[in-house]
Amino acid sequence: MWLGTDRVFEAFTFIVKETPHGVMQVHGYPYSAEGSTFIVEMSPETWRSAGFDSTEDRVFVPGESDEEAIAKIRTLFDDELGDHEIFANNSKWLNFITVRNERWHDGNIVLLGDAAHTAHFSIGSGTKLAMEDALALAACLAENDAVDTALSAYERERRPVVESTQRAAQASLEWFENIAQYREQGDIEFCFNLLTRSRRITYENLKLRDPKFTALVDHDFAARQGAEGTAPRCSNPSRSDPSG
């Protein structure tokens, strides 16, 4: 469910919460100096266990929000929200739909943005892809006299970029779907796992961006290996391995 809050997160914030119903997560990120996006996500089992299915068969008219669920969410995340409010805007439960199309154009009809392709919101690229599509389409129409040639050029240019982003988005979507399986991991291991979930950021990339964090990852990994009484091993030497 896509919500807002007047709690302004410092940066992209994941709240992973063990509740009596199962693991729930929030993807929170600031959109202005006054507020943040607050997306609540969980598995169908957790969703049912928490009683969110009470409005399952209700049809919400456009603009209407699932107020019953929002009140529950406010209570469940009381510790994280403190005195802050949750804002609804056409907010109801949704299953993220991954859209892929074999063809993006037919005659003089062309698809762009979410109509052509979606990428799970956990990698935050849907709007960027839509804007880039628009730029590419405008450029191709300006550069080609025939509409059909222009639309083919647009699709040729954009498809590889979109498909690469969709691969990363799919990995991230599946990681969040299976988040409960990482509940036993310690903080550092979990953070490393979260940051590398889409496989676009590797240990080496992370080392360039934040060497202090990767030093912690190394230390944590070595400590766990030590605790297990085994020397670090890497069956595939070409793989990025936190043991270095």
Ligand X SMILES: Cc1cc2nc3c(=O)[nH]c(=O)nc-3n(C[C@H](O)[C@H](O)[C@H](O)COP(=O)(O)OP(=O)(O)OC[C@H]3O[C@@H](n4cnc5c(N)ncnc54)[C@H](O)[C@@H]3O)c2cc1C
Q: How far is the CB of 55 from ligand X (least distance, A)?
A: 18
Task: Give the three-class secondary structure for 38.
Answer: strand
| Neighbour tally for 32: CB within 10 Å | 7
Backbone phi, then psi, for 139, in 5-degree steps?
A: -65, -45
The yes or no reply on residue 88 touching ligand X (CB under 6 A) is no
Question: From residue 192, how far is each of 9, 28, 37, 51, 186 by CA, in Å?
Answer: 21, 18, 23, 32, 10
User: Least Å distance between CB 121 and ligand X?
Assistant: 3
Site string for ligand X, 49-68 (x = CB under 6 A): --------------------
The span from the CA of 238 to the CA of 53, in Å, is: 46
Stretch 90-119: interaction string toward ligand X, x if CB under 6 A: -----------------------xxx----
192, exposed or middle or buried, with CB in 10 Å at 0-12, 13-18, 19+? Answer: buried
The nearest distance, CB 239 to ligand X, in angstroms, is 30
39 forms part of the interface with ligand X (CB under 6 A): yes
Total of chain residues touching ligand X, rule CB under 6 A? 12
Nearer to ligand X, 19 or 127 (CB): 127
Please say which residue, 94 or 146, places its beta carbon nearer to ligand X.
94
Between residues 1 and 217, which has the closer beta carbon with respect to ligand X? 1
Cβ(7)–Cβ(100) below 8 Å: no
Could you give the angle at which helices 211-228 and 187-195 cross, rounded to 10 degrees?
A: 130
Q: In the bound complex, what is the minimum distance in angstroms from residue 176's beta carbon to ligand X?
A: 12
Return the residues of window 118-157 that contact ligand X according to CB under 6 A: 121, 124-128, 130
Cα–Cα distance, 224 to 211 (Å, whole number): 20
DSSP 175-215: HHHTGGGGTTS-HHHHHHHHHTTTSSS-HHHHHHH-HHHHH
Footprint (CB under 6 A) of ligand X, residues 16-35: none
User: Whole-number minimum distance, CB 126 to ligand X, in Å?
Assistant: 2
161 to 180, contacts with ligand X by CB under 6 A?
Answer: none
Residue number, 41 or 221, with CB nearest to ligand X? 41
In whole angstroms, give the CA distance from residue 122 to residue 126.
10
> Could you list the residues that contact ligand X (CB under 6 A)?
2, 39, 113-115, 121, 124-128, 130
